[in-house]
Amino acid sequence: MKTHAGIPHQNMALDDALLFYFQCNTGETGVTWWDQSVHERSASQETAANQPTALSGGGLSFDDSNDEANASMMDFETLEVTANTNFLMFIVWNPEATSSSAYLSNTTAEVFQQTSGNTTLFKTGSGAKNTAMTHGNIGGTGGDTNIFAIDTGEKSVFMLERTNGATGTIKIYKNGKVCDGHNNAGTVNASEFSLQNLGSKNDASNWFSGTMYDVGFISEASISSAVPSSDKRRQMIGDYLMCKHGIERLGND
């Protein structure tokens, strides 16, 4: 199967749409995590005390010391996402903490963050709009009623997708299954935002604690072909990441 920076892309028409991709096991170090997209938006950290630790099997381990002088964090060239733009953010991670744990942000208010294991925060700068999605304690059957919680010590594929243009419908996915419970099914946020920090909120707080293996961002605005659909692209990327990391599929939504 052909790949685009490690992502299967048979007729996916990603081209410039893959705005960054920090890929597992591509020679990443605490100094630099090389962007595998065509945009050369590599993440870096020159200060030794703030460098994450490269793992022998791939990925970077980020340490939240709750101390700006010692917490792990990286920066990359600013990515601007315009209002009403559909996108897909994906990350393969194994968090050690989920309280106020930011994984992508910029220098002001915008952030992708786990407020808790049961709540995902997507915050945009236009009017500092908060989109908090409660997703724990739902979706399972029998004794497994908490499948959407982001648990510490659990390696998973997490995706946040925005669709429907100016409506800005937001949905989240864990291991291939969409979360349609709580307020997530009706969450909207079509505002513009930017990103340039990895593993922290603004390089100043809410540091991520745990391991990141793959982190990527796709903008639908840059995709020139409608084949396959955005749903199919998301499924194909999820398939690749789950297979690559040996993660059990929860669904194929």
* Domain that residue 207 falls in: 3-39+56-151+192-245
- Where b means 16+ CB within 10 Å and e means fewer, 162-194 reads bbeeeebbbbbbbbbbbbeebebeebebbbebb
Examine residue 99 and state whether it is found in any structural domain, yes or no: yes
Tell me, what's the pLDDT at 144? 47
Residue 54: which H helix or E strand, with range?
A: strand 53-54
Give the count of domains, the chain.
1
Examine residue 8 and state whether it is found in any structural domain, yes or no: yes
Query: Are residues 150 and 115 in contact, defined by beta-carbon separation less than 8 angstroms?
Result: no
Tell me, what's the pLDDT at 6? 61
One DSSP character per residue, 7-44 reads EE-TT---GGGEEEEE-TTSS--SSEE-B-STT---EE
Examine residue 116 and state whether it is found in any structural domain, yes or no: yes
Q: How many angstroms separate the CA atoms of 162 and 148, rounded?
A: 18
Examine residue 89 and state whether it is found in any structural domain, yes or no: yes
Examine residue 19 and state whether it is found in any structural domain, yes or no: yes
For residue 12, give Cα distances in angstroms to 76, 104, 164, 241: 26, 25, 19, 16
Ranges of the chain with pLDDT below 50: 1-4, 10-11, 140-144, 182, 185, 226-227
Examine residue 175 and state whether it is found in any structural domain, yes or no: no
Tell me, what's the pLDDT at 145? 55
- Give 130's contacts (C-beta < 8 A, 6+ positions apart): 121, 123
pTM: 0.91
Examine residue 24 and state whether it is found in any structural domain, yes or no: yes
Tell me, what's the pLDDT at 126? 60
Examine residue 98 and state whether it is found in any structural domain, yes or no: yes
Identify the CA nearest to 53 among candidates 72, 35, 34, 70: 72
3-state SS, residue 205: strand
Tell me, what's the pLDDT at 109? 72
For residue 141, give Cα distances in angstroms to 72, 137, 179, 248: 38, 11, 14, 17
Tell me, what's the pLDDT at 198? 98
